[in-house]
Amino acid sequence: MRAPFTHGEETPSGQRGWITDSFRPIPAHLRLMLGHLDGERKLTYIIWPGSDPSSTVGFREPATDTFMQAAGTADAMTVEVKLPGPDGESHLYTVGRPKPADGTTLIPISQTRAVRVFSNEVFTADEAAVIFYTYYLTDAVAQPYVLRELGLSQELSEER
């Protein structure tokens, strides 16, 4: 059984706190938060392992240098995850399906910026909720999803 508090979140409206099942089961909560993404005012959702599950404010300091975030709209979003790589350093990845891409899509990440992702890296809120729930349980991305490392030395976004 997991501790009552394990992961912090920043909601699409900018509120920070622990993810809890006080009002609904965790999978339903994650789906609800991702469903709020509208590409205009509510653009991102992020979760991370909290540092002190016994503290009501233990979410403020991440336990590790890992997180999962989504940006875009409930109908078309990108999911990124920061995880330790084979070299022991943390790396930022875009989550995708293993099928080949057939083009790219521009996903809004702020009022003025967007990121271009491959078609196999675009998810609906329902699809992303499954990825987020697995991360919530394991702090990892499960099969069949693949990770594409993002080169942080280059500009990753463009004007909308």
CA distance 143 to 131: 10
Sign of CA dihedral 147, 7, 10, 64: negative
Structure tokens at 14: 């900018």
Q: What is the pLDDT of residue 153?
A: 66
How do residues 4-32 score in pLDDT, each as one tens digit?
789 999 999 999 999 999 899 999 999 99
Q: What are phi and psi of 86, to 5 degrees?
A: -60, -25
CA distance 68 to 144: 17
Q: What is the pLDDT of residue 58?
A: 65
* Better-predicted residue by pLDDT, 154 or 70: 70
Q: Which of 90, 83, 72 is nearest to 146 (CA)?
A: 83
Sheet with 104-108: list strands edge to edge.
104-108, 113-118, 157-159
Residues in the chain, overall count: 160
Q: Radius of gyration (Cα) for the chain, nearest Å?
A: 15
How do residues 134-157 score in pLDDT, each as one tens digit?
999 999 999 899 999 998 766 777
Cα first-last separation, the chain: 44
Question: Which of these ranges, 25-34, 38-47, 49-58, 132-141, has the smallest mean pLDDT?
Answer: 49-58
pLDDT above 50 (res 2) = no
SS3 helix, strand, coil % of the chain, rounded to 5? 15, 35, 50
CA distance 151 to 48: 21
CA distance 11 to 26: 14
The domain spans of the chain are 7-144
Q: What is the pLDDT of residue 1?
A: 37
- Any bridge partners for residue 96, and if so which? 146
CA distance 105 to 126: 18
Predicted TM-score (pTM) of the model is: 0.90
pLDDT above 90 (res 44) = yes
Question: Which of these ranges, 24-33, 54-63, 93-102, 105-114, has the smallest mean pLDDT?
Answer: 54-63
